[in-house]
Amino acid sequence: MQTTVMGRVVGYDERGQGLPLVFIHGYPLNRMIWEAQWENLSDIAHVIAPDLRGFGQSEMIDGKTEISTYADDVREFLRALGIDGRAVIAGLSMGGYVALSYLRRYPENVAGLILSNTKATPDSIEGRAGRDKNIALAKEKGVAAIVDAMLPKVLSPNTFASKDELVKQVREIMMSSTVPGIVGALEAMRDRPDSTGTLLEFSAPTLIIAGADDQLMPMAEQDTMKQAARNSTLVVVEKAGHLTPMEQPEEFNHAVREFLRTIQT
Ligand code: MLT
């Protein structure tokens, strides 16, 4: 589906009714990573998954993209759908950075937080330099160069060995990214602030989901978020890499179902 929000086309899917449960994808991905969530969780929530600007079916806008730009986009998009109250905000990896920015900007609109395969800390100096290298790589060699470097890191060895279709699907999702979308996301991630303080101030339920084989998000980062968010639960999913909701959808959805029971509406 597509809609136009403040003059910009936004791709999204939505299913179900009741408590809004908003899924924000990571980089360089799009809303299709949440297919197993909107297919299987719509009996208990109003599941909504937008594409961030420059990814999937969402239009890119010229100019600098910040993590807060995506958070504001999500807010405007939800308003356009008629959702002005509280929602559970879920984000994977870069989507988690966006969810934390959303929490910082719109705390009164967050009923609960799901942080999947992500972290609250900002990029290190080396990490920032890596973003600049990838910006140059994307501009020079295109999307495929980014995807080739990234694909082996996002899935667990178990997924690579046993789920050919899924590996193909992830590659296709990544390949549908655009260079401007990728560059915008790399700049936004490079310059994002530390969100640990935001979590320290948050008292509503928080679910942290980690992949036991995630090569991109160290377990120490999960513990840091767990300690910062006082009302949080950490679920570590076995045989999952960086894309837990796709690699182990049943375990992921089970954790979300249990979590939603704790949300006061
Ligand atoms: C993502 O999956 O969104 C990115 O790998 C996050 C990052 O590079 O920091």
As a whole number, mean pLDDT of residues 204-215 equals 97
With a 6 Å cutoff on the Cβ, whether 216 touches ligand 1 is yes
With a 6 Å cutoff on the Cβ, whether 94 touches ligand 1 is yes
For a pLDDT cut of 70, what percent of the chain falls above it? 99
Model confidence pLDDT, tens digit, residues 11-26: 999 999 999 999 999 9
* pLDDT tier, 27 (very low <50, low <70, confident <90, very high otherwise): very high
Distance 67 CA to ligand 1 centre (A): 12
The best mutation among 94, 98, 195 to test binding of ligand 1, ranked by most ligand atoms within 8 Å of the C-beta, falls on 94
Distance 193 CA to ligand 1 centre (A): 15
Q: What is the DSSP string of 36-93?
A: HHHHHSTTTSEEEEEPPTTSTTPPP-SS---HHHHHHHHHHHHHHTT--S-EEEEEET
pLDDT at 177: 97
Chain mean pLDDT for the chain: 97
Distance 26 CA to ligand 1 centre (A): 6
Distance 5 CA to ligand 1 centre (A): 26
pLDDT at 265: 67
Q: Please answer whether residues 112 and 204 qualify as being in contact, where contact means their C-beta atoms are separated by less than 8 angstroms.
A: yes
Evaluate if residue 264 carries a pLDDT over 80. Answer: no
As a whole number, mean pLDDT of residues 121-147 equals 98
Model confidence pLDDT, tens digit, residues 35-60: 999 999 999 999 999 999 999 999 99
pLDDT at 122: 98
